[in-house]
Amino acid sequence: MLKQNKITDQNKYYLTSIDDLPKIRGQPKLHKIDTPMRIVTCSRDTITSPISQFIFRIIKELRTTLSGVVCNTSNFIKIITDVKLNQDEHLASLDIQDLYTNIPVNKAIDITLKRLDESKKLDNLPFTKTDIKELLILALKNSYFQFNGKFYKQKTGLPMGNTLSPILADIYMDEYQKQHLHEVNIPNKIWRYVDDILIITKMNKTQLDKY
């Protein structure tokens, strides 16, 4: 991209200025049975973090294309407090197991590029969709880390700890809800905070369990 005058020497220096590899840590899920560990890749100030931050600044406005995404716990609590149910409706909570590691990276990238194209954001930038795709692949599919002196690479899913992972997870799940959750994907009756989905539905418990 430097040779094509799409980035400056200063941009190149920033994007290649760090060569440290991430390390991983285990974060206990205290609210879960048997307290399983959430594996987090500590990617801050590591080799791919400048690229991730660079791309994030380009795609962050895609959050405006999402529906029903709750930004924080306080907002989530307020929604629950303000919910008003009809007599034939139920409030139900759905949990997505291991959200980040179960998201297909290629699919998430394709959906992101589609929405980026629809937003016309690239019309005002020197980059093509191919440029953005290559940078997304570089940042998300080269998730190496160190553990006990050995080097590992994450094979599937989005790396938890990468700047790009939360927004790509939100974009992928927004598309998934629209394509596959027709029965519950009703405006103002479905909300999602990270991997927790809250819905207002007329389904009973048996129907929800099957669903």
Q: What is the per-residue pLDDT across 116-147, written as a single tens digit (0 to 9) for each?
A: 999 988 888 888 899 999 999 999 998 887 77
Amino acid 157: pLDDT: 93
Amino acid 108: pLDDT: 97
Residue recorded with tokens 């941009």: 11
Amino acid 74: pLDDT: 86
pTM, entire model: 0.83
Residues of the chain with pLDDT under 50: none
Residue recorded with tokens 């048996």: 206
Distance CA 167, CA 33 (A): 28
Amino acid 109: pLDDT: 97
Q: Mention every residue, 6+ apart, whose C-beta is less than 8 A from residue 50.
A: 14, 15, 16, 17, 18
Amino acid 137: pLDDT: 94
Q: Which domains occur in the chain, in start order? A: 9-210 (3.90.1850.10)
Distance CA 37, CA 26 (A): 6
Helix (H, G, I), strand (E, B) or coil at 16: coil
Amino acid 16: pLDDT: 65
